[in-house]
A and B are shown apart, each in its own frame.
Chain A
Amino acid sequence: MNIMVNGNPQDFKGTPTLGQLLKELDIVPERVAVMVNDRIIPKAGRSEFGLNEGDRIEVLTFIGGG
């Protein structure tokens, strides 16, 4: 299944949930904010959140800023 992650197309086996996809990408779920197709998915709802072909995922983190 093809999914856009932070603007890059990536291929994943089967139909992963958002939680599985983050795990596959070695991302600590508590350390990121996630949007799927411009919708914010809260931490609690990610493990069951089903993904579809062509979904656009944004994974965001805090960096230094003024």
Chain B
Amino acid sequence: MKKFILGGKEFESRLIMGTGKFSSVEVMLEAIKASGAELVTVALRRFNRERPSDDLLGPLARLGITLVPNTSGARNAAEAVRAAQLGRELSGSPFVKVEIHPNPHHLMPDPIETYEACRELAKDGFIVLPYMPADPVLAKRLEDVGCAAVMPLGSAIGTGHGLSTAEMVKLIIADSGIPVIVDAGLRAPSEAAAAMEMGCSAVLVNSAIAAAGNPSAMAAAFAAAVKAGYAAREAGLMSRCDHAVATSPLTSFLTGA
């Protein structure tokens, strides 16, 4: 597999993992190892003395992965910029996943605040990865302000409705000069493979792994699917045809003609 270049840095894995919703830190760490992910998202929250085990910085640092702090909780661009700065201060990582979703019912990203935050953060030297609606026009605008990738949603966060935005994601890929990463909504490894076959550079998966019966096994399954989908894309899929095209020669000896 060709190296995945994101923000000028090279990665082997094209599966990015989220760390939310796991039943324990141990289960999460095992799943990350099984996934082979080198980029892992985390969220910032107030320090809670009652729950010191919530702190993931120590356990994740030992894995030697690159942290991608997100801006969850931010309702506007100013809050997202502040969250990104805090995330960089704590992680030392230049990566940031910008996510601004003011409505908890659907968690759809606010395109205007996302755009403003990305513009400011890219200027400030961040490697900016925006979680965004699957909108080809917005994707180009985010590329223009210096985002390192765009991350259109497959379907709403945590729903497992898969690649319901497939047609829009294809349009984004066709026009994009930066990597396209499907983020959110995936449920099955086959959907990750489909995203890669479509031409995505990577996928970001969290709930589908964290909420699986066996998270480590599911992480490995996603890793295999991402590899297979990428290899298929590189191999060049055959073109579709509206009528049947025989694979065996249509000889006439059986009819005796």
Contact = CB atoms under 8 A, between A and B. Distances in A.
A binds B: yes
Interface of A: 6-7, 25-27, 31-33, 35, 38, 40, 42-43, 58-66
B21 to A, nearest CB: 7
Interface in B26-82: 28, 41-49, 54-58, 60, 67, 69-70, 72, 82
The interface size bin for chain B is 35 or more
A60 B60 CA distance: 16
Given A33-B44, A64-B21, A66-B206, 9 more contacts: A31-B57, A33-B87, A40-B85, A58-B46, A60-B47, A60-B86, A62-B45, A62-B57, A64-B22
B41 A35 contact: no
B20 interface: yes
A24 to B, nearest CB: 12
* Majority secondary structure, A binding face: mixed
Interface of B: 18-22, 28, 41-49, 54-58, 60, 67, 69-70, 72, 82, 85-87, 89-91, 157, 184, 204, 206-207
Contact of B45 (A7, A26, A40, A61): A61
A64 B44 CA distance: 8
Contact of B89 (A27, A42, A64, A66): A42
